[in-house]
């Protein structure tokens, strides 16, 4: 083997290591930025806390959970609700991720990153990792608030952590959707609006806040195959919380596997699209 060939092989072997190192550097940069602007984290926590309080005390006694003992009781609904609120929190973080990337594009920071000898995609991977850390902190605070309003787990701590893992995995998957939106639009304001438009039907046409058994057949089929619904149902199953009447749809019968499958598919598709857009996007 020639010296040149050996050098090429060593360079190729270093590529994955370099990609990881570059991604972690970018993630550190974004985490430092979050630390210097704490109001971003504070506002990210306030919104889901408001949802918990409003849904628990305003709607808690009015929405029955079919198939559960004591259906219609506030405490039953709060335990049913919390998986949906957790999932909504990790997915709504997508809008912030898109706005952050759009802001970097608007300021020309992405162009400067692309001029550096760094791994392709490291900027986006680092950003999504930093957003995942922020989301994890938000979910931790939200879990404390949930316990204070009466939410409880019934199947043990290991299954609880497995549920939170599924939530964060879904949040990470959707952060790539936000990255693609942030690279596509021209301003951070447009990224925020574009990041929320598709999230509302995704979260509300689901089993997050009300059982799907009362929906029209077509809408119920959409909700049952919604990746958001799969994660919510998986979390309820792992927490031991009320699940209502479970549909015969495959994702509702096997929600843990469905949640994992959907998250992997979303990452593979939207990471590829986002990295491709990153190579060609201009401010």
CB-CB contact of 275 with 120 (8 Å): yes
Q: What is the pLDDT of residue 60?
A: 66
Residue 10 lies in a domain: no
Let me know if residue 2 belongs to a domain: no
On whether the CB atoms of residues 82 and 163 are closer than 8 A, the answer is no
The reply to whether 8 falls in a domain is: no
Contact between 13 and 113 under an 8 Å Cβ cutoff? The reply is no
Range of 176's domain?
Answer: 20-280
In a domain, 3, yes or no: no
**Stated length of the chain:** 283
For 68-105, what is each residue's pLDDT tens digit?
A: 655 556 678 888 889 999 999 999 888 878 888 888 77
Domain count, the chain: 1
Q: Which residues of 214-225 are buried (b: 16+ CB within 10 A; e: fewer)?
A: ebeeeebebbbb
pTM: 0.85
Query: Among all chains, which residue has been given the structure tokens 């335990």?
Result: 79
Residues 200-239 have pLDDT tens digits of: 899 999 999 888 888 899 999 999 999 999 999 999 999 9
Radius of gyration of the chain (CA): 21
DSSP, residue by residue, 244-279:
-SPPSSHHHHSHHHHHHHHHHHHHHHHHHHHHHHHH
What are 132-175's pLDDT values in tens digits?
A: 988 998 899 899 989 988 888 988 899 999 999 999 999 999 99
Asked if residue 6 is part of any domain, the answer here is no
Residue 52 lies in a domain: yes
Tell whether the model's pLDDT for residue 62 goes beyond 80: no
Spatial separation of the C-alpha atoms in residues 94 and 173, rounded to whole Å: 9
Assess if residue 12 is contained within a domain. no
Q: Can you tell me the distance from the alpha carbon of 134 to that of 123, in angstroms, rounded to the nearest whole number?
A: 17
The pLDDT score that the predictor gives to residue 170 is 95
Residue 57 pLDDT exceeds 70: yes
Domain assignment present for 274: yes
Asked if residue 268 has pLDDT above 90, the reply is: yes
């Amino acid at each position: 083997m020639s010296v040149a060939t050996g050098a090429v092989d060593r360079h190729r072997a270093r590529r994955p290591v370099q990609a990881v190192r570059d991604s972690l550097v970018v993630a550190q940069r974004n985490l430092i930025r979050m630390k210097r602007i704490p109001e971003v984290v504070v506002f990210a926590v306030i919104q889901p806390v408001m949802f918990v309080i409003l849904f628990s005390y305003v709607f808690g006694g009015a929405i029955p959970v079919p198939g559960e003992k004591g259906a219609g009781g506030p405490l039953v609904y709060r335990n049913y609700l919390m998986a949906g609120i957790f999932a909504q929190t990790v997915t709504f973080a997508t809008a912030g991720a898109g706005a952050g990337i759009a802001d970097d594009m608007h300021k020309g920071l992405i162009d400067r990153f692309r001029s550096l000898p760094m791994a392709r995609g490291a900027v986006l991977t680092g950003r999504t990792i930093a957003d995942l850390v922020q989301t994890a902190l938000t979910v931790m605070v939200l879990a404390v608030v949930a316990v204070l309003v009466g939410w409880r787990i019934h199947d043990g701590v290991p299954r609880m952590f497995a549920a939170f893992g599924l939530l964060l995995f879904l949040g990470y998957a959707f952060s790539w959707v936000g990255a693609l939106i942030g690279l596509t639009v021209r301003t951070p304001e447009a990224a925020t609006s574009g990041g929320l438009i598709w999230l509302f039907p995704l979260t509300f046409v689901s089993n997050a806040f009300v059982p799907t058994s009362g929906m029209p057949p077509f809408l119920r089929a959409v909700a049952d195959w919604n990746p958001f619904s799969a994660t919510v149902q998986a979390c309820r199953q792992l927490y031991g919380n009320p699940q209502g009447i479970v549909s015969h749809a495959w994702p509702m019968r096997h929600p843990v596997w469905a949640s994992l499958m959907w998250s992997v598919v979303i990452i593979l598709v939207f990471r590829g699209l986002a990295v491709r857009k990153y190579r060609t996007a201009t401010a």
